[in-house]
Amino acid sequence: MNWRKIIHVDADSFYASVEMRENPGLIGQPIAVGGSTGRGVIATCNYEARKYGVRSAMPSSRARQLCPQLQILKPRFPLYRETSRQFHEIFRRYTEVIEPLSLDEAYLDVSEATACQGSATLIAEEIRASIKEELQLTVSAGVAPNKFLAKVGSDWNKPDGCFTLAPGQVASFVRELPVSRINGVGSVTAAKLEKLGATTCGELQAIPLETLARRFGKYGLRLSQLAHGEDNRPVQTSRIRKSISVENTYSDDLVDIDAMRTALEKILAELETRFHRIEEQYHPNKRFVKVKFDNFNQTTMEEVIPGNGEHWLQPGAYLALLESAWQRQSRPVRLLGAGLRLNPRHEVRESQLALFDN
Ligand code: TTP
């Protein structure tokens, strides 16, 4: 069996939670985010609104019937995208193997992670704590040997929960798991399975493979595997990276070049750790720094790395870039970042080759 260490992270009532954070006056009141006029539908709602039966994808008119005092807010996508980017900043402290499913949901493969002595559960708890502290949001996490079970796990103790399934617990866990928890098993498939005598994955395991194949075609085999808690799909980082960077916002602005030098050293140490994780796939061709001043003006300075990029980590070169960037305004600095622009080492990557297999 191919056991990995997978974490599935899913933010709690994502758009609604972001709105409550931005406007704490909304906390404790039933709110939704979505279209409020005409044929508008609810994108999501907070847990107060869920008590009234309000749900995602419900027409807003229906939601208002269920909960007359419901406040329906217009979605603010730039804000959700920025929050999503901040989630990923936190994820990348632990692994580069990240597969986003949506703005608020991602799989992380931490099989090779060294933080927290390699404990996926501790990593998940640290990620949840960092998100709570730095972004004032709660996320739920599932920790398991594969993607299927990790996703089931993130839903298990929602909201603000974490659930770990160790490899040794998989067999007994899936035996009792309702088939409706399998991703892709909606009411129609669930009803068909019930006719075959299966409402739990344990009962599904007992159905002969031929029967499943006859009833569900190719999906029958997949159902059988999932019912046994097996799922070999790797976490796919489909995106080809163009850059990698580390940045930090300081609670007290950095006012002189000495403070900036010290801050830069820490950033470069973190950048080195992160770049190590992907250096087999990418080589750096440029280095850059980013500076955001106390007036929120932002600037970057970059330069081509001489040679083949191997000696990218030269603190002196980064410091020179930082000094030039800072001199553009010579004001206190609230955010500092450093990074690398990247080129893939192998022009045609495996994932792209796979496209030609058929
Ligand atoms: P979900 O993760 O499905 O749900 P959620 O984060 O709102 O709540 P929870 O996970 O705690 O149950 O969706 C993530 C975001 O995607 C959600 O905040 C709004 C958006 N969304 C829609 O726009 N339409 C939809 O039908 C759904 C389900 C979600």
Distance in angstroms (rounded) separating the CA atoms of residues 324 and 301: 7
Going by pLDDT thresholds of 50, 70 and 90, the confidence category of residue 217 is: confident
Please work out whether the CB of residue 80 comes within 6 Å of at least one atom of ligand 1.
Answer: no
Output the pLDDT for position 38.
73
Residue 351 has pLDDT above 80, yes or no: no
Q: Give domain 6-12+78-166's CATH architecture.
A: 2-Layer Sandwich (3.30)
Average pLDDT, integer, range 272-286: 85
Q: What is the DSSP pairing of strand 139-144 with strand 162-164? A: parallel
Protein residue with least CA distance to atom 11, ligand 1: 12
Mean pLDDT of the chain: 92
Residue 22 designated active-site: no
| DSSP labels, 151-168 | HHHHHHT-SS-EEE--GG
State the pairing for strand pair 31-34/6-11.
unpaired
**Can you tell me which residue has the tokens 């040794």?**
168
Q: Average pLDDT, stretch 184-206?
A: 94
Q: CATH: 3.90.1580.10, 3.40.1170.60, 1.10.10.10, 3.30.470.20. Which one for 15-76? A: 3.40.1170.60
With residues binned 3-state (H G I as helix, E B as strand, rest as coil), the percentages for the chain, rounded to 5, are 45, 25, 35
Per CATH, the number for 170-227 is: 1.10.150.20
Q: What is the pLDDT of residue 1?
A: 61
The predicted structure's pLDDT at residue 347? 54
Q: Evaluate if residue 259 carries a pLDDT over 70.
A: yes
42-65: pLDDT as tens digits: 999 999 999 999 999 899 999 999
Instruction: State residue 238's pLDDT score.
Output: 66
- Collect all residues with Cβ–Cβ distance below 8 Å to 289 and sequence separation of at least 6: 264, 300, 301, 302, 318, 321, 322, 325, 336, 337, 338, 339
Q: Is 104 annotated as a binding residue?
A: yes
Is any atom of ligand 1 closer than 6 Å to the C-beta of 11?
yes
Q: 243-356, superfamily in CATH?
A: DNA polymerase, Y-family, little finger domain (3.30.1490.100)
Q: Is the preceding omega at residue 159 within 30 degrees of 0, hence cis? A: yes
| CA distances (Å), origin 344, targets 73, 231, 243, 281, 349 | 42, 29, 10, 6, 8
Residue minimizing CA distance to atom 15 of ligand 1: 14
Task: Give domain limits for the chain.
Answer: 6-12+78-166, 15-76, 170-227, 243-356
Torsion over CA: 69, 74, 79, 81 (sign):
positive
